[in-house]
Amino acid sequence: MSTEPISILIVEDEPEFRRRFTQIIENEPSMRLVGVASNKRDAQSLIEREEFDVMLIDLGLPDGNGTELIRQVSQRRPDTDIMVVTVFGDEQHVVSAIEAGATGYILKDSTPADVISCIKLLRAGGSPVSPVVARSVLRAIRNRMGGTSTRSSTAPENNPLSARETEILQLLAKGMSFNEIGEILGISPHTVTAHIKKIYRKLAVHSRGEAVYEATQMGLLRS
């Protein structure tokens, strides 16, 4: 395992929060601050010339939308993790940021310890989100599935899965881990695992990829 400190780039326009996040990173021995930008223009300049592992970014910048920077970094630096730290926890902002490439999304009222642990979780392959953000993600997914209930009148009649199993399969198809699914649905990872075993058995498959493919062929998953 690498002992190099995690390099961080901060993009935040509000002076109070900029100072706060800067102090959090500078006080953490396992992390290194490579740059701080207060607007989109300065952030783009730093992105061009600095190497960094994680970008902490606000969405509301004075000269543009932070989502545009997220998309830029995601496309040009696929190994970089991007964590949104913002006051916006509504569905529209959350979904736009995730679709642009954000791998984590927390709110500005997160404690310093939470910010540090979320950054470490990002680098370990996780996708940390604040509870209110997880609810927004779930609402968005349900809306895209056609409503708040998975028992839609337009669902295939030959669906062998229960409403909860179909819901979990939708989340699996979006690449979420068992732990993340449990957090979104308010159930334990053990319960998620039990449901997924039932899904595999009902669809006669043995992996996530096979389950998603088979369900797509059966018309059980909506794009």
- List of domains in the chain: 6-136 (3.40.50.2300), 146-218 (1.10.10.10)
- Measured CA to CA, the distance from residue 8 to residue 120 in angstroms comes to 11
Burial class of residue 76 in the structure, from the number of CB atoms within 10 Å of its CB (0-12 exposed, 13-18 middle, 19+ buried): exposed
Identify which has the larger pLDDT, 160 or 140: 160
Q: Could you read off the pLDDT of 136-150 as tens digits, one per residue?
A: 676 676 666 654 444
Look at residue 153 and tell me whether its pLDDT is greater than 50. Answer: no
Other C-beta atoms closer than 10 Å to the C-beta of 216 total 14
- Measured CA to CA, the distance from residue 189 to residue 36 in angstroms comes to 37
Amino acid at 45: S
Q: What is the pLDDT of residue 58?
A: 94
User: What does the mean pLDDT of the chain come to?
Assistant: 84
- Yes or no: say if 33 and 8 are a contact pair by the CB < 8 Å rule: yes
Q: What is the pLDDT of residue 158?
A: 66
Look at residue 176 and tell me whether its pLDDT is greater than 90. Answer: no
- Yes or no: say if 18 and 10 are a contact pair by the CB < 8 Å rule: yes
- Yes or no: say if 139 and 118 are a contact pair by the CB < 8 Å rule: no
- Measured CA to CA, the distance from residue 71 to residue 47 in angstroms comes to 12
Q: Could you read off the pLDDT of 80-139 as tens digits, one per residue?
A: 999 999 887 777 788 888 888 898 899 888 899 999 999 999 888 888 888 777 766 766
- Yes or no: say if 74 and 99 are a contact pair by the CB < 8 Å rule: no
Q: Predicted confidence band at 23 (pLDDT cuts at 50, 70, 90)?
A: very high
Q: Is the pTM of this model over 0.75?
A: no
Identify which has the larger pLDDT, 182 or 134: 182
Instruction: Give mean pLDDT, residues 164-188.
Output: 86
In eight-state DSSP terms, residue 5 is P
- Yes or no: say if 107 and 132 are a contact pair by the CB < 8 Å rule: yes
Look at residue 161 and tell me whether its pLDDT is greater than 80. Answer: yes
- Yes or no: say if 172 and 196 are a contact pair by the CB < 8 Å rule: yes
Q: Which of 57-66, 172-181, 214-223 has the least mean pLDDT?
A: 214-223
Q: Predicted confidence band at 2 (pLDDT cuts at 50, 70, 90)?
A: low
- Measured CA to CA, the distance from residue 42 to residue 98 in angstroms comes to 23
Look at residue 189 and tell me whether its pLDDT is greater than 80. Answer: yes
Q: Predicted confidence band at 1 (pLDDT cuts at 50, 70, 90)?
A: very low
Q: Predicted confidence band at 64 (pLDDT cuts at 50, 70, 90)?
A: confident
